Amino acid sequence: MPSSREKLGIALGFAGVCLFGGTLPATRLTVSALDPLFLTAARATIAGCAGLLLLTVLRRPWPTQRIWFELFVTGLCTIVGFPVLMALAMAKVPAAHGGVVLGIMPLATVAAASFVTHERPSAGFWLASLAGAAIVVVFVLRQSEAHSFALGDLYLLGTVVAGAFGYALSGRLSMQRPGWEVISWQVAMFMPLAAIATLALWPQHLTDTPLPAWIGLAYVSFVSQFFAFFVFNAAMAMGGVARVGQLMLLQPFVIVALAAPVNGERIKLSTLLYAAAVVATVVIGQRMRVKRG
């Protein structure tokens, strides 16, 4: 059973999942009016400015050369790969569908954690994660006729891979320094490149962008790309990357719940049932042992 520190990490992890859960609906709101690549560059620029300001005000010391390299590799996943692929996916598939597909991310995160942080989940934990992933695969196959499966879901699978390694690497870094500082240095590091890309991709009629798209951009910039990592990085440092990462299986339920009011999507009963089944695998998996290296 998890220790008290791990339980606190799990609680923080659940809060982080809820914050990340708004990312797909907010992204879909924004890509309806703005180019996905511009969105990715803009959110990284805004988050980078916030991170740089926070680090400057708190006068944080510069990371060592080894930490710089780890921050750069992690940022390639969390700031470049994950947002770009997610934005492209949200231009092709509904947010609710994307949310259930991303339910496979915890399994990928467990695998990444085994490689990156040397955590050793028990057989029961793996079985629960595999069961959740299998439910997601069945859902995708049953829904594949409703949209461009070959393209939209390929983007989503790429998002899963980038996110899994991004979370695992962020979790390892957060064991060495505060989680908020880890993401702040990441976004600050990529801010100059993101700013150049933002200017290069600047839309001609940006002033005509509707208010919901602006709200979506603000959410993915300040919450998804920045503040949510404060919470989730701290959670992984306390509860372990694999155990907290498995909570991402709950994200489909959060996204599906938000897709109806935010995006006006009609939620099918079958989608809710798939999401509920995934949640059940999380409940089982959280009771299984995970040995931390």
Q: Which residues contact 70 (CB under 8 A, 6 or more apart)?
A: 169, 172, 173
Supply the pLDDT for residue 222: 95
- Is residue 71 within 8 Å of residue 185, measured between CB atoms? yes
112, two tokens = 């990444």
Supply the pLDDT for residue 227: 93
Instruction: Note down pLDDT in tens along the chain; length 293 residues.
Output: 567 788 888 899 999 999 988 988 898 889 889 998 899 999 999 999 999 999 999 999 988 888 899 999 999 999 999 888 988 888 887 777 777 777 777 778 878 877 787 767 778 878 887 888 788 777 766 765 555 456 778 888 899 899 989 988 988 898 888 889 999 999 999 999 999 999 999 998 888 899 999 999 999 999 999 999 999 989 988 888 877 877 877 777 787 788 778 777 777 788 788 878 877 887 787 677 666 65
- Is residue 117 within 8 Å of residue 101, measured between CB atoms? no
Query: Letter for the amino acid at 134?
Result: A
Distance CA 76, CA 80 (A): 5
Supply the pLDDT for residue 2: 62
Write the DSSP assignment of the chain as a string of letters.
Answer: ---HHHHHHHHHHHHHHHHHHTHHHHHHHHHTTS-HHHHHHHHHHHHHHHHHHHHHHHTPPPPPHHHHHHHHHHHIIIIIIHHHHHHHHHTTS-HHHHHHHGGGHHHHHHHHHHHHT--EE-HHHHHHHHHHHHHHHHHHHHHGGGTTIIIIIHHHHHHHHHHHHHHHHHHHHHTTS-HHHHHHHHHHHHHHHHHHHHHHT--TTGGG--HHHHHHHHHIIIIIIIIHHHHHHHHHHHH-HHHHHGGGGGHHHHHHHHHHHHH-PPPPHHHHHHHHHHHHHHHHHTTS-EE--
- The pTM score is 0.80
| Segments making up each domain of the chain, as ranges | 4-33+80-179+206-291
Supply the pLDDT for residue 246: 76
Distance CA 167, CA 182 (A): 11
